Amino acid sequence: MSEYQALYRKYRPRTFDEVAGQEHITQTLKNQISSGRQSHAYLFVGTRGTGKTSCAKILARAVNCENPHDGNPCNECEPCRSIENGSATDIMEIDAASNNGVDNVRALRDEAIFSPAVTRKRVYIIDEVHMLSNSAFNALLKILEEPPEHLVFILATTELHKVPATIVSRCQRFAFRRLSREVIAAQLVSVAASENIALDGDAAATLARLGDGSMRDALSLLDQCSDGGAIDGERVREVVGLPSRDAAIALASAIAERDAARVFTLFDASYRGGAGAATLFEELAVLARDALILSLIPSGGELLSGSADTNSLKALAETFGRARLLAFADLLAKARGAFTRGTGDRTTAELALIAALSDAEPTATQPVTPPAASPVPQSERSAAKRVREEEEERRSEVNAGQRSAQQSEVRDDDAPWAHLLGNDSEPQEPTSVIDRLSQYDFTKIEE
Ligand SMILES: [Zn+2]
């Protein structure tokens, strides 16, 4: 029996044509291979799981392939095979996260001057290159300034801003896109078919959403959900600890209808069922976001996350009303910022639910963007709690010594729902997308 191989490894693309969702990069690389006009240094930039390492491995074969097809490596010639099975000593993969010292790069520089033993080009793939130390970067720069003919460097990073400009300017830079849910879902369906896994559309869409732009994360989640049986959306939610879709929608509708008894019963049931307060609020936030988008752009189906069917979202948007939905999204964002993934989260969540139940209809003149200071509304605070919080605020102010006096001055009317209590707080610099969104006066769009 062969050793089990993770799905994302097993289905790693082997040619540029198999790389999903990065055609703007793979086409250019194919053209370079076909025309024989390759660079000696590449910099692949992008979030994790978007295909940087896969493309680097394919490129390492393509520049050495004896018989490339339309810019793709043939994967059959001797160089292709030896590179793929790892026996080619001229192809080095270095993880800068664990080899970040100047000695590693000096050793690399010393051996880099020799012509490759077997392949045409000696290729260095340096993953997470931003992790190199400054002296290592300087050593690398020396090679990049005058690279021998036979050298190709492929640097990959998730954090471009940490790579010195002197290095960046000597490389051809390629920006890898976050993969769309459609691209990820299609790949999941294709992998599932090859593996004889019964994966339904809802499950594929949910996994694609959870992958958040990363094919590797989505495939790892598929791995995690596979136990030989059929995989549907509920199975995925169960495995990753999300509340069931119906539970999240039911909770959101109960809040919209201000049905306190149902809100607390449903929250309790989800919480007991194992969904953490943070996860539950994330789901509510996705629902609120989708309902808002649908209320603004009725035809914007492809902008939705797939968190719920459009009828449920429409019903939510209608019951909430757009202004209240915005305030709700804002409240969720603030509460999520206050979660610590600890035992206190339940109380924080419940207080936020009370605030969501007791909010007034915001009017157009009231800003919906008070900054987060405390997840506890003034009216809910007991005296003892207030003393404890003020103590904590003082301590955190001492810790954050560089903060400006203005920032560290925490006023009571800075509470997330101060506007709901009728206080006038100054609108501040927005910090999140939801903050920025909620500063926008959507009532102007209404006909
Ligand atoms: Zn080949």
Give the integer Cα–Cα distance in Å for 24 and 12: 19
323 plus 277 within the same structural domain: yes
DSSP letter at 41 equals E
What tokens does 440 get? 């926008």
Task: Answer for the pair 102, 133: CB distance below 8 angstroms, yes or no.
Answer: yes
Tell me, in angstroms, the distance from the centre of ligand 1 to residue 13's CA: 15
**Residue 257 pLDDT > 50, yes or no?**
yes
**Residue 434 pLDDT > 60, yes or no?**
no
Tell me, in angstroms, the distance from the centre of ligand 1 to residue 148's CA: 23
pLDDT reported for residue 108: 78
Q: Is 366 exposed, middle or buried (0-12, 13-18, 19+ CB in 10 A)?
A: middle
**Residue 394 pLDDT > 60, yes or no?**
no
pLDDT reported for residue 421: 38
Q: What is the mean pLDDT of residues 318-343?
A: 90
Which CATH number is 364's domain given? Answer: 1.20.272.10
**Residue 430 pLDDT > 50, yes or no?**
no
**Residue 158 pLDDT > 60, yes or no?**
yes
What tokens does 315 get? 């019903």
Which CATH number is 103's domain given? Answer: 3.40.50.300
The pLDDT tens digits of the residues spanning 6-34 come to 999 999 999 999 999 999 999 999 999 99
Tell me, in angstroms, the distance from the centre of ligand 1 to residue 34's CA: 13
pLDDT reported for residue 438: 45
Percent of the chain having pLDDT more than 90? Answer: 54
**Banded pLDDT at 435 (limits 50, 70, 90):** very low
Largest CA-CA distance found in the chain, in angstroms, rounded = 78
- What mean pLDDT is reported for the chain? 82
Tell me, in angstroms, the distance from the centre of ligand 1 to residue 173's CA: 25
Tell me, in angstroms, the distance from the centre of ligand 1 to residue 422's CA: 70
Question: Which of 175, 208, 226 is the last residue before a domain boundary?
Answer: 175
Give the integer Cα–Cα distance in Å for 213 and 181: 7
Tell me, in angstroms, the distance from the centre of ligand 1 to residue 180's CA: 31
Which CATH number is 205's domain given? Answer: 1.10.8.60
114 plus 232 within the same structural domain: no
Residue at 123 is within a domain: yes
Instruction: Please state the separation of Cα 221 from the chain's center in Å.
Output: 14
Least confident of 146-160, 337-351, 397-411: 397-411
pLDDT reported for residue 383: 52
Residue at 359 is within a domain: yes
For residue 152, list its beta bridge partners.
Answer: 123
The pLDDT tens digits of the residues spanning 276-323 come to 888 889 899 999 999 999 999 988 877 888 778 889 999 999 999 999
Residue at 399 is within a domain: no
Least confident of 8-22, 212-226, 315-329, 411-425: 411-425
Tell me, in angstroms, the distance from the centre of ligand 1 to residue 70's CA: 12
What tokens does 222 get? 């598929």
**Residue 327 pLDDT > 70, yes or no?**
yes
Tell me, in angstroms, the distance from the centre of ligand 1 to residue 140's CA: 29
Compute how many other C-beta atoms are within 10 angstroms of the C-beta atom of residue 288.
28
Q: Is the dihedral of CA 417, 379, 397, 404 positive or negative?
A: positive
Could you tell me which residue, 34 or 413, shows the higher pLDDT? 34
Among 165-174, 235-244, 357-366, 436-445, top mean pLDDT goes to: 165-174
249 plus 211 within the same structural domain: no
Tell me, in angstroms, the distance from the centre of ligand 1 to residue 215's CA: 26
DSSP string, 240-287: HTPPPHHHHHHHHHHHHTT-HHHHHHHHHHHHHTT--HHHHHHHHHHH
Tell me, in angstroms, the distance from the centre of ligand 1 to residue 123's CA: 15
Which H/E stretch holds residue 384? helix 383-399
Tell me, in angstroms, the distance from the centre of ligand 1 to residue 72's CA: 8
139 plus 221 within the same structural domain: no
Spell out a b/e string for 97-125, using b for 16 or more CB atoms within 10 Å of the CB, else e: eebbebebbeebeeebeeebeebebbbbb
Backbone dihedral region for residue 403 (phi beyond 0: left; psi -120 to 50: alpha; all else: beta): beta
Q: What's the full length of the chain, in residues?
A: 447
Residue at 376 is within a domain: no
What tokens does 156 get? 């990959």
Tell me, in angstroms, the distance from the centre of ligand 1 to residue 83's CA: 10
**Banded pLDDT at 405 (limits 50, 70, 90):** very low
DSSP reduced 3-state for 151 = strand
Tell me, in angstroms, the distance from the centre of ligand 1 to residue 73's CA: 5
The pLDDT tens digits of the residues spanning 348-365 come to 999 999 999 987 655 444
pLDDT reported for residue 388: 58
| Single-letter residue type at 129 | V
Give the integer Cα–Cα distance in Å for 139 and 134: 9
Q: What is the mean pLDDT of residues 41-53?
A: 95
pLDDT reported for residue 355: 92
Q: What is the mean pLDDT of residues 225-240?
A: 90
Tell me, in angstroms, the distance from the centre of ligand 1 to residue 147's CA: 24
pLDDT reported for residue 277: 86
pLDDT reported for residue 408: 37
224 plus 87 within the same structural domain: no
Q: Is 370 exposed, middle or buried (0-12, 13-18, 19+ CB in 10 A)?
A: buried
The set of residues, in sequence order, having a beta carbon less than 8 Å from that of 401 and lying 6+ positions away, is none
Q: What is the mean pLDDT of residues 181-197?
A: 94
Question: Which of 240, 270, 287 is the last residue before a domain boundary?
Answer: 240
The set of residues, in sequence order, having a beta carbon less than 8 Å from that of 204 and lying 6+ positions away, is 185, 188, 189, 192
228 plus 253 within the same structural domain: no
Tell me, in angstroms, the distance from the centre of ligand 1 to residue 113's CA: 24
**CA distances in angstroms from 433 to 157, 440, 446, listed in the order given:** 25, 11, 21
**Residue 195 pLDDT > 50, yes or no?**
yes
Question: Which of 240, 256, 288 is the last residue before a domain boundary?
Answer: 240
48 plus 188 within the same structural domain: no
Residue at 276 is within a domain: yes
153 plus 259 within the same structural domain: no
Tell me, in angstroms, the distance from the centre of ligand 1 to residue 154's CA: 19
Of 233, 261, 266, 254, the closest CA to residue 315 belongs to 254
What tokens does 421 get? 């209590």
Domain count, the chain: 3
Tell me, in angstroms, the distance from the centre of ligand 1 to residue 64's CA: 7
109 plus 252 within the same structural domain: no
Structural domain for 363, as ranges: 245-369+407-444
**Residue 241 pLDDT > 70, yes or no?**
yes
Residue at 374 is within a domain: no
Residue at 149 is within a domain: yes
Percent of the chain having pLDDT more than 70? Answer: 80
What tokens does 363 get? 């009017």
90 plus 139 within the same structural domain: yes
pLDDT reported for residue 447: 35
Phi, psi (rounded to 5 degrees) for 127: -85, 150
125 plus 210 within the same structural domain: no
**Residue 396 pLDDT > 80, yes or no?**
no
What tokens does 245 get? 């879709």
434 plus 329 within the same structural domain: yes
Residue at 26 is within a domain: yes
Tell me, in angstroms, the distance from the centre of ligand 1 to residue 163's CA: 32
